[in-house]
Structure 1
Amino acid sequence: MKLPDGWRKERLSNISIIQTGIAKNQNNIENSIELPYLRVANVQEGFFDLNEIKTIRIPHEKIKRYKLISGDVLLTEGGDFDKLGRGAVWYEQIKDCVHQNHIFVVRPNNKHIISEFLSAQTGSTYGKKYFISCSKQSTNLASINSTQLKAFPVILPPLPEQKAIADLLSTWDETIEITERLIQAKEKQFKGNTQKLIDLRCTEWTHIKPKNMFDLITEKNHPNEELLSVTQDQGVIPRDMLKGRVMSPDGTTASYKHIKPGDFVISLRSFQGGIEYSKYQGIISPAYTVLRPKIKMDTDFYQIFFKTYIFIEKYLNLAVIGIRDGKQISIPDFLSIKIPLPPLEEQKRIAETLSVTQQEIDILKQLAEKYKTQKRGLMQKMLTGEWRVMSDVVKSYEENTKHQSAPEKWHSVGAEFNAHCE
């Protein structure tokens, strides 16, 4: 990548302090204090979800080591691919807050880089490509360590241009955050309606064993069918929709299982997120268990039910077994537990009611993803120097040492970018 004159690259460790967080299972309780701490769930892409903040006991002598300060850039070490290098800038929204060991804190040297510009860069296509390229990967999972993070090659324009670019991108951040909060509100509404219509009614319904409701499907040798992936957030989807989040299978796919629309899938992580649903026909890894309904049922109802808290905790938990590498679902145990089977018409009514809110959530998520895509595209243009901030705008940042709101001229830049996206 050829950089514009005056721009340079620098290792992240040369322009910042990088630290890991406190381990949750520490037993040092003497001379300690209970403080709020951030978990991976709190650190989203470009903002923090602070609706649920947990606390942890920490020795007094370690407070300074783990305490967050305004301007820290927080990055998650991994998990699902979308959590890899996900992060935002901390502005001390919570006083005396510390962070979990699965979150990296980058404390930039503001003589070289501003926090907002660094956060935007790590969240850009450029940043994501780097993290994915050096991450440790397994099926649908990836993680980075502090050594890899320290080696991140930061692109450094002059400080005034960094500030100008960061202010422009903040417009998208604000819009994304508003949309994400709308999603959270709708999901809270959906959860409340689910509890009312399903959780509180479960004991009233007939219960039967899954083996009487589903057939286990083990059809193989369909190598020409589309390759599908099983995800907790989107269900069963074509693998190419994951945009590089997973690796292609090695060798033949002859042993992969055939799956059809309306089938359900028990995954290696179903004990956490429930059973997934497929709207697609294709093939999936033989590690998954495919369930095909063999009685009349409303699959929309069970698509919702199999993701509810009461199903995962009350029913599915009975089939969870511990193995050497963690937990998984025992298929024989699952087939033998009893789960609710409401009357078919009641299944349909409940599904129709809940589907309205679910559709609203899906539309908002699509909108949020559109904004994120626009921001990533804009960042890619600005980061490489393909698009440059107008010289008079940069000059205004040189003349003002204090952070200011984005100049009016950003409206023309935003309009130009949107025209490219259409």
Structure 2
Amino acid sequence: MKTQLLLKQARVSLIPHGWQISQVGKSCSIRNDLRKPISLEERSSIQGDYPYYGPTGILDYIDQYLLDGEFALIGEDGDHFLKPKEKPQTILAKGKFNVNNHAHVIASTNVCSAEWFATFYKHRNITDFLSRQGANRYKLNKATLEKLPILLPPLPEQKAIAALLSTWDEAIEKTERLIQAKEKRFKWLLRELISEQPKTQKNAKWKKVKLGDLFGKEVNVEKGKALTKESNTEGDVPVVAGGQTYAYFTNHSTHEIPTVTVSASGAYAGFVWYHDYPIWASDCNVLRATKGITKFLYFTLKEMQHRVYALQSGGAQPHVYSKDMKNLQIYWPQVEEQKEIAKILSNVQHEINLLKQLAEQYKTQKRGLMQKMLTGQWRAKPDIVMGDA
């Protein structure tokens, strides 16, 4: 009966051959005696090379350490329990370091390695076991931690599975670092190529105009069109309204050619968005360059996104209308220069989007692999994964 209850709690139907099911308190070593809370004020006077961990990562570096080796950490509290698929719940810490009193410390035993604990619970939803501290905060106390169910393969297989999954972690981390580097370069290019202050003799010749001076001449601007219940038929055309995401989808469009939308109301009134596909423009302003490049217009407004947001007015229901944007001053070069700049920025943006798709593919693959490997549906042969001893 006890075994069946643990299987149910662990959300698995059977114990794989050669594995066992247990509880953390019986098979793992909880070493909370190695934790030490150190205030920010005190840490500032003992800065050094040794990491000081909190429940979700390194908080500081100090000149002393209490732990030396390999340990798993899992938070006592925090918002990481809310989205376990997106945020890791565990950390595998190695070397010499410190831990504050908001994370539980797990050491290896002869049946469960710290690495296996960290791998098994990294993205596992355990909210059913936790107590609440407010609407968006959970707490994992030691007594609850001890009762958590855990599947245990033999130690060599634990190591093999963790090694396999770590290759996906490495690929994800590498891709996300590339994304960060590309995004940093994109922001730099955006400032350099579409600057509020000309920095070269070339763009010093650009004309500086108020956006309103282009309305009706080189830039077409119009209001969105409300979508009534009668005309709203479900389809695959996105409806652009007041937020940063699509409101819903319909089966016909108001615009077929590339356009820039600026959200008209709500918390994100002023959000600048580019669409090179059919849309239904609802609660938004729609802009399109008639004597210029619409994508360049988008990059110009996106570069000053903070200033567009600052145009919000209306109190409880903020809004930004086309009349509010008329006094925005922008640089408006010749069409050929607009085209060249838009191409450069679009290429970098495309590279970022491809990397984001790749990272998401890796994450999807890893989730599927974890589901199979951590429940024993797929088995890892230690001699193949780790190499012959």
**TM-score exceeds 0.5:** yes
Partner of 1:3: 15
- Decide whether aligned partners of structure 1 residues 122 and 306 sit closer, same or farther in structure 2, where only a CA change above 3 A counts: farther
- Decide whether aligned partners of structure 1 residues 29 and 116 sit closer, same or farther in structure 2, where only a CA change above 3 A counts: closer
SS of corresponding position for 2:105: strand
Q: Check whether the contact 2:127–2:138 (CA below 8 A) recurs between aligned residues.
A: no
Amino acid at match of 1:318: A
Q: What is the rounded CA distance, in whole Å, between the counterparts of 2:31 and 2:228 in structure 1?
A: 48
Partner of 1:369: 360
Amino acid at match of 1:376: R
Partner of 1:247: none
- Say which one has the larger Rg: 2
Q: What is the rounded CA distance, in whole Å, between the counterparts of 2:225 and 2:363 in structure 1?
A: 38
SS of corresponding position for 1:352: helix
Partner of 1:107: 105
- Superposed displacement of residue 86, structure 1: 3.2
Partner of 1:356: 347
Amino acid at match of 1:357: V
Q: Check whether the contact 2:312–2:320 (CA below 8 A) recurs between aligned residues.
A: no
Partner of 1:185: 181
Match of 1:173 among 158, 169, 174: 169
Indicate whether 1:218 and 2:226 are aligned.
yes
- Superposed displacement of residue 225, structure 1: 2.9
Q: Check whether the contact 1:265–1:276 (CA below 8 A) recurs between aligned residues.
A: yes
Q: Check whether the contact 1:319–1:333 (CA below 8 A) recurs between aligned residues.
A: no
Match of 1:318 among 302, 310, 313: 310
- Superposed displacement of residue 178, structure 1: 2.6
Q: What is the rounded CA distance, in whole Å, between the counterparts of 1:372 and 1:364 in structure 2?
A: 12
- Decide whether aligned partners of structure 1 residues 280 and 80 sit closer, same or farther in structure 2, where only a CA change above 3 A counts: farther
Partner of 2:36: none
SS of corresponding position for 1:388: coil
Aligned ranges 1:288-327 → 2 under 5 Å = 289-293=283-287, 295-296=289-290, 298-308=293-303, 311-313=304-306, 315-319=307-311
Partner of 2:79: 77
SS of corresponding position for 1:292: strand
Amino acid at match of 2:71: G
Q: Check whether the contact 1:73–1:89 (CA below 8 A) recurs between aligned residues.
A: yes
Q: What is the rounded CA distance, in whole Å, between the counterparts of 2:266 and 2:168 in structure 1?
A: 36
Aligned ranges 1:153-302 → 2 under 5 Å = 153-201=149-197, 205-209=208-212, 213-221=221-229, 222-226=232-236, 236=245, 262=259, 264=261, 266=263, 270=268, 275-278=272-275, 281=278, 289-293=283-287, 295-296=289-290, 298-302=293-297
SS of corresponding position for 2:16: coil
Amino acid at match of 1:2: L
- Decide whether aligned partners of structure 1 residues 79 and 281 sit closer, same or farther in structure 2, where only a CA change above 3 A counts: farther
Under a length normalisation based on structure 2, what TM-score does the superposition of the two structures give? 0.61
Q: Which runs of 5 or more structure 1 residues have no equivalent in the other structure?
A: 20-26, 44-52, 137-141, 240-252, 398-404, 410-422
- Decide whether aligned partners of structure 1 residues 98 and 293 sit closer, same or farther in structure 2, where only a CA change above 3 A counts: farther
- Superposed displacement of residue 378, structure 1: 2.0
Match of 1:340 among 306, 313, 330: 330
Aligned ranges 1:11-160 → 2 under 5 Å = 15=28, 33=45, 71-73=71-73, 77-78=79-80, 84-86=86-88, 89-91=91-93, 105-111=103-109, 113-123=112-122, 127=124, 145-147=138-140, 153-160=149-156
Please give the root-mean-square deviation of Cα atoms over the aligned residues, in Å.
Answer: 5.7
- Decide whether aligned partners of structure 1 residues 96 and 119 sit closer, same or farther in structure 2, where only a CA change above 3 A counts: closer
Q: Which runs of 5 or more structure 2 residues have no equivalent in the other structure?
A: 1-12, 33-38, 200-205, 216-220
Q: What is the rounded CA distance, in whole Å, between the counterparts of 1:304 and 1:329 in structure 2?
A: 24
- Superposed displacement of residue 384, structure 1: 2.0
Amino acid at match of 1:163: K
Larger helix proportion of the pair: 1
SS of corresponding position for 1:385: coil
Partner of 2:202: none
Q: What is the rounded CA distance, in whole Å, between the counterparts of 1:299 and 1:119 in structure 2?
A: 49
Q: Check whether the contact 1:301–1:347 (CA below 8 A) recurs between aligned residues.
A: yes
Aligned residues between the structures: 339
Q: What is the rounded CA distance, in whole Å, between the counterparts of 2:313 and 2:70 in structure 1?
A: 43
Under a length normalisation based on structure 1, what TM-score does the superposition of the two structures give? 0.57
- Superposed displacement of residue 196, structure 1: 0.7
